[in-house]
Amino acid sequence: MNKSEQSSTEKQLKAANSIQRLKHFLWTAHVFWLTLIVALTGWHIWHDLAEIDRLVNREANIRLQTANHVRKWIVGFGGVYAPVSDVHKPNPYIPESVGRDVETLDGRQLTIANSIAALNSIMGKENRVVGAFIRFTGDDPLKPGNEPDEWESMALDKLRAGKKTVAGYTEFEGRSYYRMLQPLALKPKCYKCHSYSQYKVGDIVGGLGVHVDMVVYSDARLGIIRTHMISYFVMWLIGTLGILFTGKRWRHFLQRNDELQQQLQDLAIHDPLTGFLNRHQADLIFDNELARAKRNKSYLSILIADIDNFKNINDTYGHLAGDKVLEVISSELGNKLRESDYMIRYGGDELMFILTDSTHAESIKKAELIRSMISEHTVKLDENTSTHITLSIGAASYPEHGSTIKELIKAADVALYKAKEGGRNQVSSAEDASGSQSMNLDP
């Protein structure tokens, strides 16, 4: 593989690496975007659900505070009178001597309803207001049905241990509720109903609780989750499409940039007309190959070819005709050399061939092959004009004709001059041009 092909391969690898890095970046961007969307979705759902919890707790507190205010007001007056009915029957725990039962002037029978009975009539389970109700419970309830369930027993233990309020989500009679329980301590006025009790003043005999039905709030929870999931899915989809579109545009830019870089590289090292390497590359190649030949004790040969009568073609038919001659020569010689050899446009009508690992005898044979191949072609300059092309070639080799670049080029130039002086369309060796035998220079 010659240097130009090696450079082209390196460019292709570099372009492939750029695309691979772009793919890695896009994959990272996708993962980052998905992670961000999942995190934001989770945070917003958590935040809004926490806000719902706060609202549920606030509603429970308001209802419980309202119940306590009403209860304290009733207790402050020692109870309230209510008409005797199936709901309000005379309380057997209140002695008649304290005015439990009275009759109004119009003949209505009234009986005292204590705070618990009154609150049950206002805010109890049978008179619930918009999905919430209060409930009294205790270890020794006066009314059947007020016995504590499992959650209330646990909450009462915590209240007796010193907690002011116990709250939480739990089931009650097969429905989901947010429940809050506060302690009820025995006070002197409570002995009107609890005179039989084994408790003393200050003891916690039960609790006043509120049950907030979670049906409405559960629907709100599902709505929040659904809304956020849809919103952030749309955001993720838009962002992903944006990343894909940007990646596609970026990939196109990289490919175009690589193509332009390759074109610039080609222009920097190749002659645009013939596709041969330019003279600047000749100096670099010569340095490297001559150093390698010396290091490996091998051979290196150069051929300098001149297009015969090229100036006359330009002067007679114009520079476009001269360009066409050069194009024909380059197309004919493009695939005729080894991959390890180099073709260089050394001047306007001068071509140089650097033949690696080639002895002088082999270089002469290669030069004769090039000369005869070109001499067989006629170039059609236009519809009515054709011209015959020939080359004069001078050959020199390392180590026979020099050990430096200058020496080898000078020897090849002298040989080329001899070929042109000898009638053109021929190959001349530096050995013949110098009129001397092999110099046998050691590397």
pLDDT digits (tens, 9 = 90+) for 330-389: 888 876 677 788 988 888 888 999 999 999 999 999 999 999 988 877 888 777 788 888
* Per-residue pLDDT, 70: 87
The fold for domain 279-434 equals: Alpha-Beta Plaits (3.30.70)
- Confidence (pLDDT) at 191: 57
CATH annotation of 78-216: 3.30.450
CA distance 43 to 37: 10
Dist CA 316 CA 333 (whole Å): 25
Q: What is the pTM of this model?
A: 0.55
The whole-chain average pLDDT of the chain stands at 83
pLDDT at residue 199 in the model: 62
Which pLDDT tens digit goes with each residue over 239-290? 999 989 988 888 888 778 777 777 677 666 777 788 788 888 888 888 899 9
The pLDDT tens digits for 295-341 are: 999 999 999 999 998 888 888 888 888 888 888 888 888 766 777 88
In the chain, what are the domain boundaries? Answer: 78-216, 279-434
Encoding tokens for residue 295?
A: 């290091």
Task: Report which of 217, 237, 225, 242 is spatially closest to residue 41, judged by C-alpha positions.
Answer: 225
- Whether 279-434 and 78-216 are alike in CATH topology: the answer is no
Mean pLDDT over 10-37 rounds to 80
